[in-house]
Amino acid sequence: MYHATIDPDARTLTLTERRPDPITGEEREVTINTYKLNGSPLETDFVTRSISESEDGKIHLELEADAITDLASPRADFWDEVAATLGIEYRHGNVRLNDEKSAAQNYRDFVRFLAERDYLTTEDLPIALPSATNRYIVNNAPYHQDGSEMTREEEVAEDVYIDVNASADTIGRHIKALSEQLVPA
């Protein structure tokens, strides 16, 4: 169940959902998005279950929807396919690797998946994180920006190289960065 709060003064609609905290497990209200209302009718697939008004003049709606993920993440279809094919999931802004495989194998599989589905082509290469000064996360040769060889290079598709010498956290960040750079929103 989703909740929306309309603030007439700010002319906004804030969409929230109750989700378990990943550490404590306690339910908490999480903001999915805040929309600026421009006076036009707001069209959604939501079914309104209840409406109330608080003392501060805000209007509260209880909403039901079949697929809020499309609203929360424009890349939802992509991540659904990745999860079904590779077991790698994207939740609440974080990549969760497939526990049944090593981090390096998750990385190999993901980059191969991108290449096989034409999200990644050799014209896109090399790719580095915006903050990187000497390392590529994917290149068309087994070398980094600074000219050094990749420590544990893997050719995952023709002329597509990755360095699998990285921690699981780093690989998760690389996967997230690649999806953000290569998969249309």
How many separate domains does the chain show? Answer: 2
Percentage of the chain surpassing pLDDT 70? 85
pLDDT attached to residue 77: 80
Last residue of a domain, one of 12, 33, 68: 68
Q: Are residues 62 and 82 in the same domain?
A: no
**Which of 18, 25, 2, 176 has the alpha carbon at shortest distance from 93?**
176
Q: Are residues 55 and 80 in the same domain?
A: no
Which residues of the chain form beta strands (DSSP E)?
A: 2-7, 12-20, 27-36, 47-53, 59-64, 89-91, 94-96, 153-157, 160-163
Q: Are residues 84 and 175 in the same domain?
A: yes
Torsion angle defined by CA atoms of residues 122, 123, 126 and 129, in that order, rounded to the nearest 10 degrees: -110
Q: d(Cα 18, Cα 57) in Å, to the nearest integer?
A: 23
95: containing domain: 76-182
Q: Are residues 164 and 87 in the same domain?
A: yes
Q: Are residues 97 and 114 in the same domain?
A: yes
Last residue of a domain, one of 68, 84, 102: 68
Provide CB contacts within 8 A for 173, sequence distance 6+: 95, 129
Are 125 and 138 within 8 A, CB to CB?
A: yes
Q: Are residues 86 and 62 in the same domain?
A: no
Q: How confident is the model at residue 132 (pLDDT cuts 50, 70, 90)?
A: confident
Q: How confident is the model at residue 50 (pLDDT cuts 50, 70, 90)?
A: low
Which residues of 84-152 form beta strands (DSSP E)?
A: 89-91, 94-96
Q: Are residues 46 and 85 in the same domain?
A: no
Quote the mean pLDDT of the chain.
84
pLDDT attached to residue 103: 98
pLDDT attached to residue 46: 60
Q: Are residues 117 and 173 in the same domain?
A: yes
Q: Are residues 99 and 123 in the same domain?
A: yes
Q: Are residues 121 and 168 in the same domain?
A: yes
In the beta sheet, which residues pair with residue 152? Answer: none
Indicate if the pLDDT at residue 36 is higher than 80. Answer: no
pLDDT tens digits along 68-113: 444 444 467 889 899 999 999 998 788 999 999 999 999 999 999 9
Q: Are residues 93 and 153 in the same domain?
A: yes
